[in-house]
Structure 1
Amino acid sequence: MSITASLGIPVVPESADEADPGPVELHARNVTFDWTDVPLHWIPGHPVASNFISVLNLLLPEGERWFVQTYNEALPLVADEELAARMRGFIGQEAMHAEAHDHVLWEFLDHHGIDPRPYQLQMEWIFRKVLGPATKGSPAARRKHLVERLWFIAALEHYTAVLGDFALNNNWIEAGAHPMMADLFMWHGAEEVEHRAVAHDVAAYFGDSYLRRGRAMLMVLPILLLLVQRGYRFIMKQDTSVSYNYLQKKWQYHRGVRANLLPRISTVVFSTFSYFRPGFRPEQIGSTAQAVAYLAKSPAARRAA
């Protein structure tokens, strides 16, 4: 199923083998990557597309650690053992994502002359200070703060599912992208599709409120777009191998979109509307069967195994 599912467009499996297998047991997969020979522009002939996708390596480590911290705070309060088991699987997967992308910061970006430290300090401030756990107030106030953060994560996970679906259905491999970086994002994207319903179900367990759900989404979208755009400018400013002006960068970006190497921002933004639709379920985004099939053959996961 393609990213069109995020817009509410049904996609019928092409064969029985692609039928949704239903609930799957979530577990962290050990992965190993070697960034020694991966070029900064890992999609040949597409420096802007390469750098735009690489922004996620700047953004994700602190965000994923915040997910883990928040869920470890919430887990002792969950009496539903089935949901708790899914949360533990989610925590394991997100912790592995944080570790994998953290290695990219220093073994890939820093190695190629892109100093991630200033951006990382900003991410630490956002996720550790601004969005960190409440340490003051009554137990009721601290619980309310926790529920707000859980809905914030649910909103973010809506977009990670949409982007995960894109990672599994793009043209990176056909364009000659370096298989190591392509596998990093496809492995990560597949796990985002695999656990796409967990954050929504956890938030609903603690406080199923349409108002909270909508408020979190309306906050997340502009912040996410701002951080991605800021990260893109941060990398491009330090990438001395390209000297595009503003119009050239825009043209290169749209060239990447047309080649299905970059997600169309308008598609990601419009996927927000499906989140507000009555009866929406995260399982309507992407295909569990496709995600599990990729995870079974991911080179990184196979190497670690």
Structure 2
Amino acid sequence: MSTSEIVQRKGPSFGLDDPDLPRYWFAGDPFKSRFFDAMSLLFPEGERFFIACVRDFRHAITDPQLERQVKDFIYQEGQHGQVHTQFNNRVKEQGVAVDHILKEEHRFLFDVFRKRMSRKYTLAQTAAAEHLTALMAHGFFAKGTLRDADPRIRAMYAWHAVEEIEHKAVAFDLYKTVARGSYLTRILGMIQVSITFPLHTFLIMRHMFEVDGLRNRGRLWMKGLWWLYGPKGVFSGLLPHYLAYFKPGFHPWQQGQLKNYESWRETYEASGDAIKAGDVAAGIAA
């Protein structure tokens, strides 16, 4: 199976505090911009949850390679949380109830799942969420989805995508080899995450649209959902990648690597410029 080295990178500077960064940074489109904004709001608490669930089994790891990968996973997820918190503070300044959303997400993840579910189940949730984020990372950049986005935010998501793909098998391997979780629990975790993640994203988007005072929101939703799920939508062609998780013999590295991964890494390591690397990942610059 193909694997990638997990690299500990300090979260780059993306210019997220620049005053000229537009509210609708994705082609001037409210739905597209707010879809990614809503996902960003979910990331910091989600990353903390993933780290906690992985740490539950860290003491039982005997494989030095997996131990090193878990360490790198925790570092990368911590950096993602920090960068997205910076981005979310910008959204907060727009009047979005970020603090309330994060408080409710924390309660949902830590006071419901972490307190009421088994540690194996919450690790299964983590493995499932990692598959979904890796799937989106593959899809968004393989298809050039973010070509029309502001280069600063595109660069942030490119960096995040690269690292999600680097560590996409860590929680899964921990679940299988250390927690020794069952196939049924793994699939239940995926079904639950497949429902709650988009549901929470869309609920946050609804609040954002209200804050923005947008009219004709029904038409906005119809057009936006077609952009996501239509025959030529963002998620079209990704169903086989998603369904592969339900195979008993599935492993994350059966899906291979992001097509532009090496180009992003070579560009970033040579220049230290995350914006330029993000353009390369999106197929805009060579």
SS at match of 2:155: helix
- Give the TM-score, by structure 1 length: 0.79
Q: Is the 8 A contact 2:142 2:258 kept in 1?
A: no
Deviation of the 1:132 alpha carbon: 2.5
SS in 2 for 1:171: coil
> How many Å separate the matches in 2 of 1:83 and 1:58?
29
What is aligned with 2:254? Answer: 284
Instruction: After TM superposition, give the deviation of residue 246 of structure 1 in Å.
Output: 0.4
CA displacement 1:77-119 (0-9 Å, x = unmatched): 211111111111111111111111111111x202233231221
| TM-score normalized with structure 2 length | 0.84
- The offset of 1:169, in angstroms, is 2.1
The code of the aligned residue for 1:32 comes to S
Give how far 1:256 is off: 6.6
Structure 1 residues 47, 277: CA separation in 2 closer, same or farther (over 3 Å shift)?
same
Distance 1:255 1:201, change over 3 A: closer
Equivalent residues of 1:42, 1:50 under 8 A apart:
yes
Give the letter for the 2:118 counterpart: H
Distance 1:68 1:74 in 2: 11
Aligned residues: 269
Give secondary structure in 2 for the equivalent of 1:131.
helix
Letter in 2 for 1:263: V
Aligned match of 2:78: 95
Where do 5+ consecutive residues of structure 2 fail to align?
A: 275-286
Question: Hey, what does 2:37 align to over in structure 1?
Answer: 54
Structure 1 residue 223 corresponds to structure 2 residue 196: yes
Paired residue type of 1:250: M
For the 8 Å contact 1:27–1:92, the answer to whether it is kept is: no
Note closer, same or farther for the CA distance 1:129–1:180 as it changes in structure 2 (3 Å cut). Answer: same
Return 276-285 or 190-199, whichever deviates more: 276-285
Q: In 2, Cα distance between the equivalents of 1:164 and 1:216?
A: 20
Which of 134, 141, 148 pairs up with 1:161?
134
Q: How does 1:104-115 map to 2 (within 5 A)?
A: 104-106=87-89, 108-115=90-97
Partner of 2:9: 29
Query: Does residue 39 of the first structure (1) align with residue 39 of the second (2)?
Result: no
AA aligned opposite 1:39: P
Please tell me whether the aligned partners of residues 55 and 232 of structure 1 are also in contact (alpha carbons under 8 angstroms).
Answer: yes
Q: Partners of 2:256 and 2:212 in 1: how far apart? A: 34
Determine if the alignment matches structure 1 residue 247 to structure 2 residue 229.
Answer: no
Q: Give the corresponding residue for 1:184.
A: 156
Structure 1: distance between partners of 2:248 and 2:118: 25
Q: Could you say what secondary structure the match of 1:58 adopts?
A: helix
Q: 1:145 aligns with which of 115, 118, 121?
A: 118
Q: Is the 8 A contact 2:51 2:77 kept in 1?
A: yes
Shift of 1:170: 3.6
Q: Does the CA contact (< 8 Å) of 2:44 and 2:82 recur in 1?
A: yes
In 2: Cα distance, 1:54 partner to 1:298 partner: 24
Contact 1:156 1:220 (C-alpha < 8 Å) held by counterparts: yes
Q: Is the 8 A contact 1:162 1:286 kept in 2?
A: no
Match of 1:131 among 95, 101, 113: 113
**Aligned equivalent of 2:281:** none
Letter in 2 for 1:26: I
Separation in 2, partners of 1:215, 1:199? 16
Given the alignment, which residue of 264, 286, 293 partners 2:263? 293
- Cα distance in 1 between the residues matched to 2:228 and 2:124: 32
What fraction of aligned residue pairs are identical, expressed as a percent? 25
Gaps of 5+ in 1: 1-19, 135-143
Tell me by how many angstroms 1:24 deviates: 3.2
Deviations 1:256-281 (A, max 9, x none): 76797x633x7666644211124322
Alpha-carbon displacement from aligned partner over 1:191-248 (angstroms, at most 9, x marks no partner): 11111111111100111421121221122211112111112212112113x3233023
Structure 1 residue 254: deviation in Å? 2.5
Shift in alpha-carbon separation, 1:213–1:259, aligned structure 2, 3 A: closer
2:55 maps to 1:72: yes
Secondary structure in 1 matching 2:272: helix
Aligned alpha-carbon RMSD (Å): 2.7
SS at match of 2:50: helix
Higher RCO (CA-CA < 8 Å; seq separation 6+) = 1
Q: What do residues 48-67 of structure 1 show as CA deviations (whole Å, max 9, x unaligned)?
A: 11111111111111000111
For 1:204 and 1:296, the matched residues in 2 are separated by: 32
SS in 2 for 1:91: helix
> CA separation in 1, counterparts of 2:231 and 2:192?
31
In the superposition, relative to structure 1, how do residues 225 and 271 fare at CA in structure 2: closer, same or farther (>3 Å)? farther
